[in-house]
């Protein structure tokens, strides 16, 4: 089967429409992951052992099971329990939840890298827990986390095709529907691959820069 | 709902497919990881280029895209694969690319003086790798390989989308036949979790075995 440039060109608008949804899903998913990840990380450090243990187990469970199955769970099971979500919302929550468990590890690493003396100094100057986190710990913990976070952002971007399994019309799903209606698989599938590859390669360069900029802060 | 035992059998059959996929995929990934990882360290420029292109390509796109490409596009060029073959190939090549970086990193992490000592005692490049560098690099690779194996296990669920009857696929079958969603999905979530826990437990055991006796050295 030969590559047909005219056909490839004609399906570009459809694919780009899908690409837009892919980007939206990635950005929203990343926001959910960033917030939930912080919640997980803080709950895991909770002084209440039961809370810390339970959170630890939930995080392990989510990390140990496939994202696809979690998406199915949110998309098919929750409606039976009375919570019906649009496909894109279900996808964003699923991806956000899954990557939140990875983000939680990054937060944990970053928080633990803050020297003990900083905590003690905060206590010594009588800061509240809120003030300690907001003004002492997080400003020091966040910059070294940025490269790792960007890495997971890229990983999440690459996982968005899974959303096509729960009927989100993102890039992969558009390509599949084009392929199914025209019986030509070569162009759509290859173009999807190329698009992901281009974004990833650019991101890798950006990642290197982030690593140089934030990776090692000199103490 | 009375036929739950029958549906459970269906899911367990799927679980066996998932286990097979994980084992075969991991085996392929391991081989590919060493070939590509050592290839990136080759003296030959074209070998390095080839290995780098492979790694960047497979890390730059997702397993999903690769699987569909292998399953739908390759047959058009005359290479027809069964879903199982396509699945193992996609999983092995994808995780192998991540593994290759682990191999490379571990080999480079072996201290420089070990390389120099090998040159000093006139070992060939092969002997150097086989007897000095790899035995020291292997324990460094194991923890990350363990994580990669779990990623591979999780990625096997994607093959259900090319109609390979793994655990996720069977859960969908049960869902469409019974209309019950909670049971099949909770069952497979628990099974996946059990499998990944078993994997990480096994890897920790292996790690302890391999690093035994190395305390004095490092």
Q: Indicate which CATH number applies to the domain containing A121.
A: 1.10.3720.10
* Reported confidence tier of residue A146, pLDDT bands at 50, 70, 90: confident
Whether the ipTM is more than 0.95: the answer is no
Percent of chain A with pLDDT over 90: 53
Lowest mean pLDDT among A56-60, A70-74, B163-167, B189-193: B163-167
pLDDT exceeds cutoff 80 at B134 = yes
* CA–CA dist B77, A192 (Å, integer): 18
pLDDT exceeds cutoff 90 at B74 = no
B154 to chain A: which residues are within 8 Å by CB?
A: 64-67
In this prediction the pTM is 0.87
Give A132's contacts (C-beta < 8 A, 6+ positions apart). A119, A122, A123
Tokens of A191: 């173009």
> How many CB contacts within 8 angstroms connect chain A with chain B?
103
Residue in A64, A159, A186 nearest the CB of B73: A186
For chain A, how many structural domains are there in total?
1
More confident residue, B89 or B78: B89
Residue of B nearest to A163 (CA): B64
Cβ–Cβ of B193/A68 closer than 8 Å? no
pLDDT per residue as tens digits for the range B175-210: 988 888 888 999 999 999 999 999 999 999 998 888
Which of B157, B172, B183 to probe the A interface (max A CBs under 10 A)? B157
Q: Which fold has domain B16-164?
A: MetI-like fold (1.10.3720)
* Reported confidence tier of residue A147, pLDDT bands at 50, 70, 90: confident
pLDDT exceeds cutoff 50 at A219 = no
The minimum CA-CA distance between A195 and chain B, rounded to whole Å, is: 9
The minimum CA-CA distance between B196 and chain A, rounded to whole Å, is: 6
* CA–CA dist B162, B160 (Å, integer): 5
Cβ proximity of B100 and B33 under 8 Å: yes
Q: Tell me the average pLDDT across B50-70.
A: 91
User: Is residue A85, in this structure, part of any structural domain at all?
Assistant: yes
pLDDT exceeds cutoff 60 at B6 = yes
Asked if the C-beta of B18 comes within 8 angstroms of chain A's C-beta atoms, the answer is no
Residue of A nearest to B176 (CA): A76
Residue of A nearest to B169 (CA): A69
Cβ proximity of B181 and A80 under 8 Å: yes
Cβ proximity of B154 and B166 under 8 Å: no
pLDDT exceeds cutoff 70 at B46 = yes
User: Is residue A179, in this structure, part of any structural domain at all?
Assistant: no
SS3 labels along chain A? CCCCHHHHHHHHHHHHHHHHHHHHHHHHHHHHHHHHHHHHHHHHCCCCHHHHHHHHHHHHHHHCCCHHHHHHHHHHHHHHCCCCCCHHHHHHHHHHHHHHHHHHHHHHHHHHCCCHHHHHHHHHCCCCHHHHHHHHHHHHHHHHHHHHHHHHHHHHHHHHHHHHHHCCCCHHHHHHHHHHHHCCCHHHHHHHHHHHHHHHHHHHHHHHHHHHHHHCCCC
Asked if the C-beta of B74 comes within 8 angstroms of chain A's C-beta atoms, the answer is no
Give B165's contacts (C-beta < 8 A, 6+ positions apart). B13, B14, B17, B173
* Reported confidence tier of residue B215, pLDDT bands at 50, 70, 90: low
* CA–CA dist A36, A44 (Å, integer): 12
Which of A64, A75, A208 to probe the B interface (max B CBs under 10 A)? A64
pLDDT of residue A133: 87
User: Is residue A151, in this structure, part of any structural domain at all?
Assistant: yes
| pLDDT averaged over every residue in chain B | 90
Burial of A48 (0-12, 13-18, 19+ CB in 10 A): exposed
* Domain enclosing residue A101, as ranges: 20-168
* Reported confidence tier of residue A216, pLDDT bands at 50, 70, 90: low
User: Is residue A164, in this structure, part of any structural domain at all?
Assistant: yes
pLDDT of residue B66: 92
CB atoms within 10 A of CB B103: 28
Lowest mean pLDDT among A75-89, B1-15, B94-108, B198-212: B1-15
């Amino acid at each position: 089967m030969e590559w047909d440039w005219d056909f490839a060109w004609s399906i570009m608008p459809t694919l780009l429409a899908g690409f837009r949804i892919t980007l939206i899903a990635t950005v929203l998913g990343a926001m959910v992951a960033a917030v939930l990840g912080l919640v997980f990380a803080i709950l895991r450090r909770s002084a209440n052992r039961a809370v810390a243990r339970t959170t630890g187990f939930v995080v392990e469970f989510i990390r140990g099971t496939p994202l696809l199955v979690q998406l199915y769970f949110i998309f098919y099971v929750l409606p039976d329990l009375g919570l019906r979500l649009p496909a894109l919302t279900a996808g964003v929550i699923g991806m956000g939840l899954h990557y939140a468990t990875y983000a939680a590890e990054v937060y944990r690493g970053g928080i633990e890298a803050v020297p003990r003396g900083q905590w003690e100094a905060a206590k010594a100057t009588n800061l509240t827990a809120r003030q300690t986190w907001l003004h002492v710990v997080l400003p020091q913990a966040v910059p070294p986390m940025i490269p790792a976070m960007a890495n997971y952002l890229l990983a999440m971007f690459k996982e968005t095709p899974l959303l096509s399994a729960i009927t989100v019309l993102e890039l992969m799903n558009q390509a599949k529907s084009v392929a199914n209606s025209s019986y030509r698989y070569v162009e759509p599938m290859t173009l999807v691959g190329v698009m992901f590859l281009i974004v990833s390669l650019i991101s890798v360069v950006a990642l290197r820069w982030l690593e140089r900029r934030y990776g090692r802060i000199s103490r | 709902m009375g036929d739950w035992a029958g549906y459970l059998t269906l899911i367990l059959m799927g679980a066996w497919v998932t286990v097979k996929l994980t084992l075969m995929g991991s085996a392929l990934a391991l081989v590919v990881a060493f070939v590509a990882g050592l290839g990136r360290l080759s003296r030959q420029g074209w070998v390095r280029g080839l290995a780098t292109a492979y790694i960047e390509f497979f890390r730059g796109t997702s397993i999903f895209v690769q699987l569909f490409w292998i399953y739908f596009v390759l047959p058009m060029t005359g290479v027809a694969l069964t879903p199982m073959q396509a699945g193992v190939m996609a999983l092995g090549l994808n995780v192998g690319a991540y593994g290759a970086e682990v191999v490379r990193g571990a080999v480079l992490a072996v201290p420089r003086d070990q390389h120099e000592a090998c040159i000093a005692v006139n070992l060939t490049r092969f002997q150097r790798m086989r007897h000095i560098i790899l035995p020291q690099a292997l324990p460094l690779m194991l923890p990350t390989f363990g994580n990669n194996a779990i990623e591979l296990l999780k990625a096997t669920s994607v093959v259900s989308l090319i109609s390979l009857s793994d655990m996720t696929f069977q859960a969908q079958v049960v869902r469409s036949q019974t209309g019950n969603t909670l049971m099949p999905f909770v069952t497979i979530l628990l099974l996946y979790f059990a499998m990944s826990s078993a994997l990480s437990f096994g890897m920790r055991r292996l790690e302890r075995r391999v690093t035994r006796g190395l305390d004095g050295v490092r």
